[in-house]
Structures are given as structure tokens and as C-alpha cells.
Chains A and B, each alone.
Chain A
């Protein structure tokens, strides 16, 4: 089953607002990856994190690898309509295989 708790499940915001979502786990992760998925398409990689405490930005997106290695957050600043989609966190479990473990996703709706 899923080992990542992703929240919130859904968000409805106005264009221009900032957004924050996070993933938590009772297990330790060695990597954290954030993906965006549009309907009928595969996930697209947004940000990759490899070290505890690491803070990485990609344009209006910022993500952090939690110090405990059990959590990560993604922030989106000044949202725009094309930010609509489902955002997934994923990671490699410590001591685990090469497979990615995914959260259930956060569905983002942006009202213009």
C-alpha cells in the first residue's frame, strides 16, 4: 500500500495566490521527487531533491527535503491557470529498491 501521506487532497485557489502542499511518511526516504500530471498524460518531473534539508527552486516552484528525511513540501508562488493539474510526491525508500513510492496526489484548481 501507499507509504506516503500527501495533503491536501485538493485545493481551489484564485489566480495569483501562493500554494503549499506536503508529503509525510513514517519511513525514511533517500530522495524526494515532485511530479505534475495532466489528465490522460504521464507525470512530468518538476523538482528532484537528494539531500536532507535541501531547498531547490524551479521558476515559481520551490521544494524542500525535510531534515528528518520523512517529509517534503512543494510551494508554488503566484499561481497561474496552467498550474492546474495533479501534483504527486514520490521518493526512494531508505534501504529499498529502485522503485518510486508515490503519494495519492494533490489536485489543484486555479480560478482565473
Chain B
């Protein structure tokens, strides 16, 4: 049984560069969620998908952020023109049904220098 996987686990980038993260959910889960976590805080919601449809985006998701789930399986989160404030842990979670348990991946730690 494979859980949620994320790649890369760590990313160091210079300010102004673009970065892309990948999430592979648990295979039978049609819900996929992205969260961001900064030091000392709980995860904060960014966006979620039901299959390939993006159903909600947080105000945290500025115009520099875009997420896709083109075939309803894996998802990508892209950050353009990164800023130091983007440094955080980016977490992906999946769920088989709405308003149910969400299972998290190991996260991608982004450091913007």
C-alpha cells in the first residue's frame, strides 16, 4: 500500500526563479489538497481538486501560484518568481470522499534565498 508521495523533498532556489512540485495521491482517492506550513504553525489550505477539477483556491494562492491535476491523478504546484516569503513546507493530502480523513504526504521543503 503506497501512501501519498511528493517530489522533491527539498528545494533550494534563488529569489525570482520558478519552481514546480509534484504530488502523487493514494491511487483510489479522487480528492487532492495542497497546504502550506510555516515554522510554528499548522498547515494552511491552498487549493483542492476533485478529480481534474480545481474546486477551491485560498486567498493565500496569489497569481504567482498555479496548480493542476490534468488527468485526475498526480498534481503539480508551480510558484513563479519566487519570493523569500514563499519559503515553507508544501504539503499534499488526498482523500477518497469529501469531509473525510485526509492523508498527507511527506511534504516539499522550499527555501528561497
Q: Are B31 and A105 in contact, CB atoms less than 8 angstroms apart? A: no
- 8 Å CB interface, A7-60 against B: 30-31, 33, 35, 40-45, 48
Chain A 37-95 interface residues, beta-carbon cutoff 8 Å to B: 40-45, 48, 88, 90, 92
B51 vs chain A, min Cβ distance (A): 13
Query: A6 to B93, alpha carbons, bound, how many Å?
Result: 22
Query: Hey, which chain A residues are within 8 Å of B55, CB to CB?
Result: 98
Interface 1/0s, chain B 50-72, versus A by CB < 8 A? 00000110100000000000000
Q: How many pairs, one residue from A and one from B, have CB atoms within 8 Å of each other in the complex?
A: 69
Contact B102 A33, beta carbon cutoff 8 Å = yes
Cβ of A43 and Cβ of B104 under 8 Å apart?
A: yes
Chain A hits for B101, CB < 8 A: 33, 45, 48
- The reply on B25 being an interface residue by CB < 8 A is no
Partner of A100, one of B56, B102, B106: B102
Render B86-110 as a binary contact track against A, CB cut-off 8 A, 1 for contact: 0000010101001111111111010
Q: Which residues of B contact A90 (CB under 8 A)?
A: 42-43
The 10 tightest CB contacts between A and B, nearest first, are A102-B42, A99-B45, A42-B104, A42-B107, A48-B101, A43-B104, A42-B106, A98-B98, A92-B99, A102-B43
By a beta-carbon cutoff of 8 Å, the part of chain B in contact with chain A is 4, 6, 31, 33, 35, 40-45, 48, 55-56, 58, 91, 93, 95, 98-107, 109
Q: Beyond A33-B101, A42-B4, A42-B107, list 10 extra A-B contacts (CB 8 Å).
A: A4-B42, A41-B107, A90-B43, A92-B99, A98-B31, A98-B48, A98-B95, A100-B35, A102-B44, A105-B40
